[in-house]
Amino acid sequence: MKAKLIFQESVFRRLLAGAAVAFAAFAAIGTVAVLWDNPFFIRMTPVGGWEIGLLALLSLLSGFYVAIHRPFCSNKTIGVGGVLGFVGVACPVCNKILLLVFGGELLLAYFEPIRIYVAALGVLIAAWAVFHEWRQWNDAPAV
């Protein structure tokens, strides 16, 4: 009975941690990407309707990944998906690293039209990481 209670507390903590990560990721990335007005950052290009939806999906996948992640294993795929998702929803001209590497004209001419695909690729990579982690978690022997 005590082991069952400990297991339930552990599951509750993991779900709580996953929910906290999902909320924090949505709030932090959305604020930095200026998907809504905020006093910290200014966006130079208009926000598309798909950006908030993709950010919400990416945040939920990140939270789910944290909830099921096995701490003794490592998977960098979720990080790649997160970075691609952020680059895809963020303002390309506001990203100083991209701006320094490629220049404003190149970003607006070539990267702006494919941002949705970059963000979608990030979400797909994150979904694959969650699926892979879920499969490994289900296959793990019960302790």
> What are the mean pLDDT values of the chain's consecutive 10-residue runs (143 residues total)?
58 90 94 88 83 94 87 73 91 81 86 91 94 79 57
pLDDT value for 1: 52
Apex 86 CA angle, 80 and 87, nearest 5: 90
Q: Running DSSP on this structure, what letter comes out for residue 140?
A: S
Domain definitions of the chain by residue range: 2-139
Q: What is the pLDDT of residue 124?
A: 96
Question: Structure pTM?
Answer: 0.81
**Residue of 124, 61, 49 whose CA lies nearest to 89:** 49
- Residue 64: CA atoms inside 13 Å, Cβ hemisphere, count? 17
User: What tokens appear for 106 in the block?
Assistant: 């190149």
pLDDT at 141: 61
